Structure 1
Amino acid sequence: MTQPASPAQQGQQDARPRPDSSPGTRKSGQTDGGSPLRTLWARADIRTLSLLGVLAALIVVGGITKPDEFLDTRNLQLVLTQSSVIGVVTVGMTFVITSGGIDLSVGAIVALASVWATTVATQEYGFGGILFTSVLVGVGCGLVNGLLIAYGGMVPFIATLAMLASARGLALQITEGRTQVVTVDGILGLGERDSYILGVPPLVLVFAAVTVIGWLVLNRTTFGRRTVAVGGNAEAARLAGIDVRRQRLYLYLLSGLCCGIAAFLLIILSGSGQNTNGNLYELDAIAAAIIGGTLLSGGRGTITGSVLGVLIFTTITNIFALNNLQTDVQQIAKGAIIVAAVLVQRRTASTT
């Protein structure tokens, strides 16, 4: 008859090294300790590495087809700057999709926030007034979405579709179809090269900050774990003590906040507010999140993958523009990438 292990023996057993379950490790649980590169590869996310490979391939294609124009420092700065606006929106979208929701209104919210923040009355309050109004309008729209979905019981698709139509209509009413030019020097100055920090545009720095904060919140906080839990199984999350309705409200507030920040960046980039701003941002943000590895059904999300998805789409657009290719071909290429990403997701899900 075997004797139960003593507490000391149990502690020794628990302290023993356990097999590493990360992808790419050997079945015995040991990696080649003599090769740091192999260890890094074993711990890395294969999807992220694949996206980096696609981005690197696009850079090579751009460098071959238009070496002087594509590899020019100003063009690379332009690619990063253009990625910043939709990238901030995508960070918020990633949280929403991870929770099992969807937000079709992000582009319209960006448009409404940008035109509301650039009215003559708002510009009288200067830089602070424009920034505050952009963020406030974004959060306000997110609050309406969150209340309708979390406490009103509306399907996210319907609620955000209604917000899309309403926000676009209100933006058109405010502008009366005209472009509102920004006259605040503090805003216009941020778009000039003199404001670059070590060659990096301020918009890119804001995008980087939002990305880092989003990654930390999703991967290192209780809020992020609750978001994944709600997306994986909302009923199980509720039984575990998570207030699912409140969590969903917070997520749409977060999405609205990201839209407000993106609207402010777009005002800096364009120096104006228009009711057509943010056109199709919802599709670009959803597509970037999906090809980055965020499950459309919820339960898994990756900020890093979403950002790489944004960079891939922006680089494709830039390469097509430099080579004077038709927009329809560009849209077909994006569609093919989205389909391929969804098929990869389904295959990955079926093998796990």
Structure 2
Amino acid sequence: MSDATGTTTPERPTDLPAQSPPVSKAGTEAAAHRETPRSGLSFWKGDSGEGARRNLGLIAVLVVLVIIGIATRPDLYGDSNWVWNNFLTILKLASVVGVVTVGMTFVIIGGGIDLSVGAIVALSGVWATTLATQSFGAGGMIFTALVVGLGVGLVNGLLISYGKLVPFIATLAMLVAARGLAAEISQKQTQVSNNSTINGIASTNVLGIPLLVYILAAVVIAGWVLLNRTTFGRRTVAVGGNPEAARLAGINVKRHTVMLYALSGVCCGIAAIMLTSQATSAQAAMANLYELDAIAAAIIGGTLLSGGRGTIVGSLLGVIIFSTITNLFAINGLTTEAQNMVKGGIIVAAVLVQQVQFRSVTGFLKRNKATTA
């Protein structure tokens, strides 16, 4: 366009959007106040509150089991002394498997599985109760059990990380090998523990609570701190969630996997001393099917079988639930076979729930991605 003087002026574009009116500071603060949800409500509804919701659900299951016990045996639950002693019995029953479950939880969160934990407990216990080892006293027995557990765990980790073996196959082979080595060392005989200090662990009470329960609490607290408050725990979740992404982020996935199985082996060594103290002996057949109990407790507690998610507190509650079921069946005179069927049904139900939740989360992410695009 030209004006009267002959100068050319650019044309104004006609497709520019109209400017919005200025927004006052008070209006901005009011809008932010309306759009920001309450922190507590968002916590319970969001992913961050999933662990708390699951733990509350597990506590509700425990309450239901107690109600069933009261309904079936009101004569026993009417005695307050019996109730307290029975509660301590359940915790004592859960102590050994609980320690093994802590190590198993780390392995599963890291994307693996360990079928050899029961055999590692047996091998550690048998090796710690040989006459040669017992001659070094309680310290020598404890040191031997921990070193044997650590060594077998390292072998598992090396076979899986650097030998490229599937965790299921590697630990299944170790299950057979460790049981065979334990039988060879013990000559298929029961080895009696003659050390009064080791034998006294199971019978010692501190402030009315068994020492085994304190050991379980110490392992659980250490496991919780390691998983939730350290770099090791964050790397464990990353490796289990996406190993390739963890590798690209600078995490040595192979070395970390070895450390996870070594940690599981150390937990088995601790459990071996606890179980040896309870039985005052050790044999190659001890800790039978502990691997299934530990895996089941971890799954019930919310640990994802595919890795990348899990809680130590949830796994502990899973162990206590199974111990409560065992106790409930015992006081009602029911068979072990019926108890195993109930456990199997609980495991299947827990896995199905995990699959439904995983699919719903995956579908939500896909829909959110499509909407963003």
> What's the TM-score, normalizing by structure 2?
0.83
The answer as to 2:201 corresponding to 1:190 is yes
1:235-261 Cα distance to aligned partner (Å, 9 max, x none): 011011111001101100100010000
Partner of residue 103, structure 2: 92
Partner of residue 52, structure 2: 45
Aligned-pair distance for 1:268?
1.2
Q: Distance in 2 between matches of 1:241 and 1:200?
A: 45
Aligned-pair distance for 1:69?
4.4
Residues 17 and 272 of structure 1: CA distance in aligned 2, closer, same or farther (over 3 Å)? farther
**Of 317, 321, 327, which aligns to 2:336?**
327
Aligned-pair distance for 1:174?
1.2
SS in 2 for 1:103: coil
The answer as to 2:302 corresponding to 1:293 is yes
The answer as to 2:190 corresponding to 1:179 is yes
SS in 2 for 1:45: helix
Residues 119 and 43 of structure 1: CA distance in aligned 2, closer, same or farther (over 3 Å)? closer
Partner of residue 22, structure 1: 43
Q: Distance in 1 between matches of 2:304 and 2:72?
A: 34
8 Å CA contact 2:126, 2:283 repeated in 1? yes
Aligned residues: CA RMSD: 2.3
* Seq. identity, %: 59
Q: Distance in 2 between matches of 1:186 and 1:68?
A: 38
Aligned-pair distance for 1:96?
0.4
8 Å CA contact 2:198, 2:273 repeated in 1? no
**Of 259, 269, 276, which aligns to 1:267?**
276
Letter of the 1:23 partner, please give it: W
SS in 2 for 1:153: coil
Letter of the 1:50 partner, please give it: G
8 Å CA contact 1:86, 1:262 repeated in 2? yes
Q: Distance in 2 between matches of 1:82 and 1:269?
A: 10
1:77-106 Cα distance to aligned partner (Å, 9 max, x none): 221111010000000000000011000000
> What's the TM-score, normalizing by structure 1?
0.88
Q: Distance in 2 between matches of 1:44 and 1:328?
A: 32
The answer as to 2:245 corresponding to 1:236 is yes
The answer as to 2:233 corresponding to 1:213 is no
Partner of residue 162, structure 2: 151
Q: Distance in 2 between matches of 1:206 and 1:221?
A: 21
Aligned-pair distance for 1:64?
2.9
Q: Distance in 1 between matches of 2:67 and 2:76?
A: 13
Partner of residue 370, structure 2: none
Residues 225 and 61 of structure 1: CA distance in aligned 2, closer, same or farther (over 3 Å)? same
The answer as to 2:67 corresponding to 1:60 is yes
8 Å CA contact 1:69, 1:75 repeated in 2? no
**Of 314, 317, 320, which aligns to 1:308?**
317
Structure (1 or 2) with the larger CA radius of gyration:
2
Letter of the 1:270 partner, please give it: A
Residues 228 and 181 of structure 1: CA distance in aligned 2, closer, same or farther (over 3 Å)? same
